[in-house]
Structures are given as C-alpha cells and as structure tokens.
Structure 1
C-alpha cells in the first residue's frame, strides 16, 4: 500500500504549512491536498516529483516508506531534521556577471552550488533565488537592485500584474510584470513598471524558469528622482499602452 498520502501530510506539518500553503507550493488545488492526505486519491507523479525536490527525498521513499516512523535509527532522525530545514532561507545569488553562465547552467547543480548564498530570516521555507537587475525598465526599482524570487513550477500558475524574474532562452534574465491573455494561448505579456518601455510577448515554451518576486534589496543611496517633464511623458506613454492593450484584448 502506498505511503504517499500520509507522507505528504507528515512533510507538510514538518514545514508548518497549511493545506492551502502546501497546495500553492505544488501548483494544485487545496482540495487535492485533503484528498491525498485522507487517501481518497493518489498523488500524481508530477506532484510527487515536486515534493521530492522540496524535501530531498526519493520517490521510493515517498511511496513506500513511513517517514513518520519515530522508532527509526539516529541517522534516519537526522535525515528528518535535514528535510525539515532543507532550502529554508538558503538563497543562491545570480549577479549580472553570472547571467550568461546561468542561462547555460541553471539546471546544473554543480554550477548552482558555486554561486554565493545568503539567508533572509523573514522568508518561510521554500525555493528562493536572487538576481541582480540592471537598467531602468522597472523604475522606480533602481538599477543594481537584487530581486529575491520564489520558484514557480508552471507558467499556468502566474498571477496577473505580479512581478517575476523570467528566465528565457531568447530574452535571457528579465524582471517584469506578467499579464496572461486567454486569447493568446502559449504566450505571456511582459510589462515594465517604467511606461517608457513597451510591453512585449514571449512564448511559454521559451521560458525555462519563473521566480515570483518576494523582496527587493537595493542600496539606500540609489534614489530615482523624477522631473515633471519625465512624469508627463511617462503618463502619456502609459495611456497609449493601455489603449493599445484594450484594442488587442477586444
């Protein structure tokens, strides 16, 4: 008999997550978490693979072993402690100078392990990464800021108007807000906070990673100052973009 349902419940409680929080991490509905934990349904393979990555356990362990067995060996208990704290607040940092290498090595654990890391105590357990951004397309977020993002496993789970680090084969690493257009299947619209930059679309097939922005770290001395002419120009450009988007949606 599969242990998956009880193991998912045990691992969720190790992290102190509610069923709703766990469901968001896995990109599924909360009701499915309840069904899995009550053994009314078997977790799908893709769900188990995400759980395996988060808690650093194998699929065999999830399916066949009782991870809640407190009578295990000392090593087993130590492994449980490691799973409980795995990836908690450990954030790998991708500076601009490493961006080109990241596009080739984002899936290479050895490359990722070579990146510098830091921690932020205010973040709950999860899969986080930090990226340095350059340019003025997301003003008033200044150039040189560090964006800390949480991994999104599926483009279908992105939320409109939220900011993301988008890693794609053609565009590289960009920091943008995302809008989904139900009429443009397989595409996402990327929008800059600075309205002087026009929105553009990317194919979801071209995207290799999505990280939802959770925090922005920037130097205190970096303060963007606006003059009235710049603000007026930005408002006019924004109005033009809104009109253009309305026409496309209609």
Structure 2
C-alpha cells in the first residue's frame, strides 16, 4: 500500500505543511505524520477526506505508487483528470438480448456511426440497431460489429464489418493489437493500439497502411474499447507479403519516433 508516500508526495508538490493538510481534512497533525511514516493507517472516512482534498481516487491513493509515474501523468491527476482505466467503476454498456435471453451482436453501420458516440449508452438508440448471432464466438462475452470506412487498415477493406469484444479493463489493452476505439471527437476508429496510459495517459493509434501517420489520443477522449475478433468483407485481400512486411516496419519506426519525442518532452 502506497498511501503514506503518496500523500506526502502530493502534499509537497502543493507546497503545503503537515499542519495545512491536517486542518483541511480535519485530523491532527500527529495523525498525518503517522500516515506519512507508515506507522498508522487512516479509517475509511479519513481516506475519503484525503481523496476529496487531492481530487484523486482512493484506489490510486492506496494502490498506485505515484513516485514512479511520469510527470505528465502526475500533472493530469493534479488537474483532476483521474481516469478509471481499470474498469473498477462500471462502464455503462447498453445491450440487447434475443428471445432466449442470449446477448445479441449489434451492427453499427456507417450511417449509424456518427450517432453512436452520443447514443452508445442509450438503450433506445442501441435497441434499433440490427442484430445477429455468431455461434462460434465464446459465450458470456459481449460483442459488437462496426462497419469501417477508408483504406487505413489493410487487409481489412473499406465497408468491411469488424467485430470486437468489449474491453472493461483498459489496462488489458494488448500492444500492437487492433481495436475498435470509440472516441468523443473522432467517432469510431479501427486502429492498431499501443497502451501509453501509465506513461502519459494516452493511446497511440497506428494504421497498417504506412501512408497514414500514427497519432495519440488522450484517454479522456475514449468512451469505449472493443478488441478485434474477426471481420467480414466482400473483397478478397490480395497476397503481398513484402508490402505487408514493409508496412509493419514503417509502422514500428513511426511508433518509435513518437515514443522518442515523448521521452524528450518529459525530460524538458
């Protein structure tokens, strides 16, 4: 548990004395000293008071070593952007079931994608989407199918239907794996994702088409994550191993360049 070292760090970053913070959370200064030294622990009411004072969740105050996170991550926390990436707070997911009470796979066509970013949690919006079943998928998991547009993710072609599995815990995002990312500003995008949330609270989104440059989005912009499962297309992809290999190499180089830029930025 990192509570003592965390509140000491946060207090010093705010340039507050132990007396200042003790008065703010309505405890004795000696009690705060004990917490910071690790010789005593707060009760639940006091823990909530610290969480409210620093604007950081109790879970992070207890379990995340803030002395080891990046400066950018700390800055975001101190500005009040304490994002739940673990899924410990239930993400609201509107869904539908068939006559046998089995989860449907809802279809989100291109025409519905624009409305999905605002209607994704609205049961009335979700229930009018077309539905179907894929019997070969694992039971007791939630799937949704999105129609993608554009040529940024070959061999998945324009107007293909991409099925994803709902990701509750964003810490489980697998680097270099394709995901359907639902964002507030860009809508529904299908990209290869690299998880940078513990470093600077961002995701790096890459295309398999090297003509499209990778870009970062802040986790604040993300509303849903769906892990790629399969896709359905009316087009047969053309085999071109050399092109695919080159595309992957370019994507890796672009990713490494962004990571180098982030490292240099953090050191400034």
TM-score band, normalised by shorter chain: 0.5 to 0.7
User: Does structure 1 residue 247 correspond to structure 2 residue 263?
Assistant: no
State the number of aligned residues: 174
| Structure whose alpha-carbon radius of gyration is higher | 2
**Residue 102 (structure 1) aligns with:** 116
Note the residue ranges of structure 1 that are not aligned, 5 or more in a row: 1-45, 57-80
User: Does structure 1 residue 131 correspond to structure 2 residue 146?
Assistant: yes
Hey, what's the Cα distance between the residues in 1 that align with 2:246 and 2:238? 16
**Residue 86 (structure 1) aligns with:** 102
**Closer, same or farther: CA 53–133 of 1 in aligned 2, 3 Å:** closer
Hey, what's the Cα distance between the residues in 2 that align with 1:197 and 1:112? 31
CA contact (8 A) 1:168 1:209 kept: yes
TM-score normalised to structure 1 length: 0.59
When the two chains are superposed, the root-mean-square deviation of aligned CA atoms in Å is 3.4
CA contact (8 A) 1:142 1:224 kept: no
Match of 1:223, SS?
A: coil
1:168 CA displacement:
0.4
1:223 CA displacement:
3.2
**Residue 152 (structure 1) aligns with:** 167
CA contact (8 A) 1:196 1:237 kept: no
Hey, what's the Cα distance between the residues in 2 that align with 1:234 and 1:48? 38
TM-score normalised to structure 2 length: 0.55
- Which residue of 201, 209, 234 corresponds with 2:224? 209
Match of 1:180, SS?
A: strand
